[in-house]
Amino acid sequence: MPELPEVETMRRGIEPIVGSRIVSITRPACNRRPILISPSIAEIQDRTTGKRISRIGRRGKRILIELEDLQVLVVEPRMTGLVLLVEPPTPDHLRLRIALTDTVHDEVLFWDRRGLGTVRLLSGEEAATVLGTAKIGRDALDITANELRDQLSSSRRAVKVALLDQKHVAGIGNLYAAEILYLAEVDPRTRCDRLSKPQWARIHHAISEVLTEAIRHEGSTLSDGTYRNALNEDGGYQNYHRVYDRAGLPCPRCENAIIRRIVQAQRSTFFCPHCQRKSGRFHRS
């Protein structure tokens, strides 16, 4: 499930196409339902043909393919979307083909097994609105400790649920929220407005620590094998998960407690009931 580290790995993977020109954007023959795309494929084709790609950016879990005329092609992989420079894992579920010239790669593909992903073409003005901080929060790797606390500390929601809300901080999903709160030694059920200043500092530190490490390992490829980088290769961070999907296994830190799974906002939360207590700041040696 692409979250910030996986999307950043995809972004870096397709960065070599900067400087190339778009020849065409087409939907491959695919008997699956087309992914959500706006505006129409015909209009996208019309507005992008011959345009040079000036930069590959990222905001939270979205990839931004920026064109020379300030238009932005926003790719949202969501659960199973992949951006690829090579042949996809399977020939079906190929949703979009972007043919290029003036580059070593003659195309970029968007492949999405479940088809929940989206592709949008925004004008420069639209991009300023849609990507403005009112709609999506600051990127999780850019947010400062003070900004994080300002954004969330008055909320009464559980901190795990609040971290998943992209309006506050962009890029954290279910897997990394669990790993972040584990490293920060914070109970995921704690209300934001009950967190102490040191706890916020630990969460902020854990956000950059976990996400940076995950990027270094090129993201997490889970057992379903869905996520891969732009060259269709597995990530490696799944070997370093400490709590995610590890219910029933001993905590790697205290080795006494057993990792628990609970449900918050209809999503699985994994945590160590010993290391991540609400009074966590008092038990550290």
Partner DNA sequence: CCCCAGTCCTGCGGGC
Partner DNA sequence: TGCCCGCAGGACTGGG
Q: Name the residues annotated as catalytic.
A: 2-3, 61, 267
Of the listed pieces 44-52, 142-150, 200-208, 261-269, which binds DNA according to CB under 7 A? 261-269
Of the listed pieces 10-18, 42-50, 153-161, 251-259, which binds DNA according to CB under 7 A? 153-161
Angle at 157 between CA 152 and CA 161, to 5 degrees: 90
Choose, by CB under 7 A, the member of 60, 137, 235, 280 that binds DNA. 60
CA 29 from chain centre, in angstroms, equals 28
Rounded Cα distance, 84 and 92, in Å: 14
**Shortest CB 57 distance to DNA, Å:** 15
Choose, by CB under 7 A, the member of 45, 155, 208, 232 that binds DNA. 155
Sequence-ordered list of residues with C-beta below 8 angstroms from that of 223, at least 6 positions apart, any chain: none
Interactions with DNA, residue window 161-190 (CB under 7 A): 161, 164, 166, 173-175
DSSP states along 212-246: HHHHHTT----TT-----TTS---SGGGG-SSTT-
* 197 forms part of the interface with DNA (CB under 7 A): no
**Shortest CB 151 distance to DNA, Å:** 10
Q: Which of 34, 113, 111 is nearest to 75 (CA)?
A: 111
Rounded Cα distance, 68 and 117, in Å: 25
**107-112 β-sheet, strand order:** 21-26, 94-101, 107-112, 81-84
* 76 forms part of the interface with DNA (CB under 7 A): yes
Nearer to DNA, 223 or 239 (CB): 223
* 265 forms part of the interface with DNA (CB under 7 A): yes
Omega before 28 cis (within 30°)?
no
Sequence-ordered list of residues with C-beta below 8 angstroms from that of 215, at least 6 positions apart, any chain: 4, 5, 8, 9
Of the listed pieces 8-16, 96-104, 149-157, 202-210, which binds DNA according to CB under 7 A? 149-157
* 195 forms part of the interface with DNA (CB under 7 A): no
Binding region for DNA (CB under 7 A): 1, 3, 32-33, 60-62, 76, 78-79, 92-93, 113-116, 154-158, 161, 164, 166, 173-175, 223-224, 265-268
